[in-house]
């Protein structure tokens, strides 16, 4: 969903304020609904919407939050947790047989089956580790992220974290798969050369034609296996992660936490802050 006609009549500053207030509304509602006082381990994602998640959590007061530990997905969320006076730990400190009670994170685009594109902030690998470590993954976003099919609004491409030595070969494979002008993410204008992730890797942004859902292929009129350049989310995700040199991909797909006990990539709920100040909830 992009800016509506009435919103585009607003000044740039007014539009920015509207987006901020929609992020805040989504985050506060998600925390109210999904952060139970009995929880002990909470994942905190990356991006500008998650700032409000941490603000909402901090406002619950130390009687509740001092019993909880918070697990970041990168340096930004580590700083947010510390600045809010919350207890910090790292996901590698959580025993492998234990789970986070809940994880909150943003998204770059969300489709109607709650598949996500993530990685606009280059933290996608840590974000997927934290999300899949949680019993319940909850997504928070503003109205611009809502989309019928991934790749409709988010045109920059699917973020893919790759080993530097493999980057050119991965680019070649992506082009052969039908990606429209995949590129290594540049650090410009802030940094000369490419973005280097917290894991010492590069990010490739690979645009594809809007990704199909399984139901789009049921009619038998579209395959979704990449023939003719059309992919379903699941087929593309499986193909991308199998490319040698790819560490992780920014497609969050497959099962959600209601369907499997461990390892779900999809959120059970997405909170969208809308332009009119309300919050739209999409549940799995
Ligand atoms: C970072 C992410 C973010 O969650 C995504 O980019 C959304 O960010 P924002 O809340 O600033 O719109 O995936 O890698």
What pTM was estimated for this model as a whole?
Answer: 0.94
pLDDT number for residue 6: 58
Measure 49 CA to ligand 1 centroid, in angstroms. 7
Query: Which ligand 1 atom lies nearest to the CA of residue 106?
Result: 4
Is the shortest distance between the CB of 106 and ligand 1 below 6 Å? yes
Quick check: is 127 catalytic? yes
Is the shortest distance between the CB of 107 and ligand 1 below 6 Å? yes
Is the shortest distance between the CB of 161 and ligand 1 below 6 Å? no
In SS3 terms, the chain reads as CCCCHHHHCCCHHHHHHHHHHHHHHHHHHHHHHHCCCCCCEEEECCCCCHHHHHHHHHCCCHHHHCCCEEEECCHHHHHHHHHCCCCECCHHHCCCCCCECEEEECCCEECCCCCEECCCCCCHHHHHHHHHCECCEEEEEEHHHECCCCCCCCCCCEEEEECHHHHHHHHHHHHHCCCCCCEECECCCCCCCECCCCCCCEEEEECCCCCECHHHHCCCCCCCECHHHCEEHHHHHHHHHCCCCEEEECEECCCECCCCCCCCCECCEEEEECCCCCEEEEEC
pLDDT number for residue 93: 94
Query: Which ligand 1 atom lies nearest to the CA of residue 250?
Result: 13
pLDDT number for residue 219: 63
Q: Which of 127, 173, 248, 275 is catalytic?
A: 127
pLDDT number for residue 17: 92
Measure 121 CA to ligand 1 centroid, in angstroms. 6
Pick out the chain residues at pLDDT < 50: none
Is the shortest distance between the CB of 185 and ligand 1 below 6 Å? no
pLDDT number for residue 156: 97
Q: What is the pLDDT of residues 222-261, one digit of tens each?
A: 678 998 889 999 999 999 999 999 999 999 999 999 999 9
pLDDT number for residue 217: 87
pLDDT number for residue 218: 66
Is the shortest distance between the CB of 49 and ligand 1 below 6 Å? yes
From 51, 76, 106, the mutation candidate for ligand 1 (largest count of ligand atoms within 8 A of CB) is 106
């Amino acid at each position: 969903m992009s800016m509506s006609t009435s919103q585009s009549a607003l000044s740039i500053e007014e539009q920015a304020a509207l987006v901020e207030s929609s992020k805040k509304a989504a985050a506060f509602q998600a925390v109210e609904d999904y952060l139970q006082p009995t929880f002990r381990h909470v994942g905190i994602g990356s991006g500008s919407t998650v700032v409000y998640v941490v603000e909402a959590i901090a406002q619950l007061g130390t009687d509740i939050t001092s019993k909880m530990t918070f697990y970041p997905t990168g340096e930004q969320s580590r700083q947010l947790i510390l600045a809010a006076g919350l207890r910090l730990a790292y996901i590698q400190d959580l025993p492998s047989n234990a789970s986070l009670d809940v994880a909150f994170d943003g998204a770059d685009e969300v489709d109607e089956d709650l598949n996500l594109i993530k990685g606009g902030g280059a933290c996608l690998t840590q974000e997927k580790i934290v999300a899949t470590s949680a019993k319940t993954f909850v997504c928070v976003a503003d109205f611009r992220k809502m989309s019928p099919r991934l790749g409709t609004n988010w045109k920059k491409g699917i973020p893919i974290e790759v080993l530097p030595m493999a980057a050119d070969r991965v680019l070649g494979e992506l082009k052969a798969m039908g990606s429209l002008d995949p590129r290594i993410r540049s650090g410009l204008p802030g940094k000369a050369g490419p973005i280097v992730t917290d894991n010492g890797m590069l990010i490739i942004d690979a645009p594809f034609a809007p990704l199909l859902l399984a139901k789009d292929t049921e009619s038998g009129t579209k395959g979704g296996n990449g023939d003719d350049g059309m992919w379903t989310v699941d087929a593309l995700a499986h193909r991308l992660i199998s490319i040698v040199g790819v560490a992780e991909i920014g497609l969050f797909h497959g099962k959600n936490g209601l369907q499997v006990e461990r390892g779900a990539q999809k959120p059970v709920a997405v909170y969208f802050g809308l332009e009119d100040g309300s919050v739209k909830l999409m549940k799995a």
